[in-house]
Structure 1
Amino acid sequence: MSDEAPQPGPAGPDRLDVFEAHRRMLFGIAYRMLGSVADAEDLVQDSWLRWSQVTARVDNPGAFLARTVTNLALNRLSSAAVQREAYVGPWLPEPLVTAPGAAEEVEMAESVSYAMMVVLESLSPLERAVFVLKEVFGFSYPEIGEALERSEASVRQVGHRAKSHVQARRPRFDAPAEVRRQVTDEFLAACLGGDLNRMLELLAPSVTAWSDGGGRVKAAIRPIDGADKVARFLLGVLANQPLEGMRVHDVDVNGRPGLLIDAAGQVDSVVVLEIEDGRIGELRILRNPDKLTHLRPGGPA
């Protein structure tokens, strides 16, 4: 992979500039690996500390930094695996929430869509590392082998296995942004209006809904399948939720239209709908407050 960033010598004055030139890449690797905004930001900071302490000349800063953050992420995942085994209900990645149509998210939208993040979670940590470095950031197998201290043949085999896995489960939801937003807004209106018939029209018969409360707040502990069950579940939730003081905001979630809901001055949930042929095929509701701490009421400025 080509790297045109400046190459600092020992304690070079451009060291911070070089790091900042790669910050977006580092966050992207860490977030795709961990599914956590807060943990990804921590790993970027840890990468800076490692980078700032290097005294020898680094010929390829991008490869060095990618190797650093990837191995930090693999170490973090080894401890996270134990926590996830005891997790209450479905585990969903933390959402990246931006203002609708934010220009800087256009490039990011495809490779880190929420549906794709869920697929990445089904890979082993090693498969995820190789897939992200190769397919998203364009590193070569020799570079990845060096980064992970494995042979090129080994990482190539892992990469092919991961790519096949992702292709078999790749999100099929490819509706244009305007269709996604229209269906999302119409479904919200139907939910708030208690219009069961309209909800059923907008839900695909085979729709599945996931609700992540992490045992911290009320949420379904198993996926809900079928349009009728999903619609009645949502209406039941709304019936027990005082609408006074609740605010719903249009946002983009991982580059796709979504909703952010405030209640009592706090972020209550983030909702992601996946649209296929004008109907909702998947619905994910993030309610675990630990996964919403990086958000603020009202969404992005």
Structure 2
Amino acid sequence: MEKLLPIIKVEDLKFAYGKSEVLVLKGISLEINQGDFIAILGQNGSGKSTLVRHFNGLLQPTSGRVLIKGMNTRSTPVSKLAATVGYVFQNPDHQIFCASVWEEITFGPKNLGLPKDTIEANAKEAIKIMELEGKEQRHPHSLSRGERQRLAIATVLAIKPDVIILDEPTGGQDKSRTEKLMKLLQELNAKGHTIIIITHDIELAAEYAKRILVTFDGTLLLDGDPRAVFLEKEKLHQTFLKVPDIFAFSFGLGMARPALSPEEFVEEFKRSTGA
């Protein structure tokens, strides 16, 4: 069987802002496949956001290259990349600029030249998913911080890109909405969308991600299955990241398969004890 090309391929990516000689990214190489659910972890300044902004052409490599579905980001318009890679900023106000919620959500699909009926259907679906019904004619800046975050996500959902990147997606959301959002991302992932989240919440990453990347000082320090990553104690110590409590607890109990969530712990405990 012919091997599928990675949806994102990063080759020896180095990057420095402006004319600075100080590299923010120091030679990162990785491949991301269709259907991955990735959490990127690392301290502030480790290069997380700088890395993912290369995935839709917002930043261009100082050296090396980034390929999206085989398209070199250096020579592909950002508008074309946006049809494949949707990006939700950490601060929603950095991507909200229209006069109404409806205009905001339909802007991207219109810009891509989608048919009118598709634009309307996609927008209505995104509004329903992100619980913004009844707010279509509101000015975005009249919404709460959490609502603006959901609006920013809705603008990406309306495009239906193959890859959805979210920078600290649960900011401004309470526990209930956080769980709904993460369940939505799981559903989108199950339908084939590649999901990439940048987060400081290692418990969240453990519970939902299938793969974890850890950045450190502009390098890719770790890349793998969550359990494999969390067992790299010495490397994690460099980054000041602490493994999830439930993982540490179940590992300490000697579980052959340390748990990544409370639900998983209960299941594994029942299995190991025959309860």
Quick check: TM above 0.5? no
Between structure 1 and structure 2, the one with the greater Rg is 1
Higher normalized helix content (fraction of residues)? 1
TM-score of the superposition, structure 1-length normalised? 0.25
TM-score of the superposition, structure 2-length normalised? 0.27
Higher normalized strand content (fraction of residues)? 2
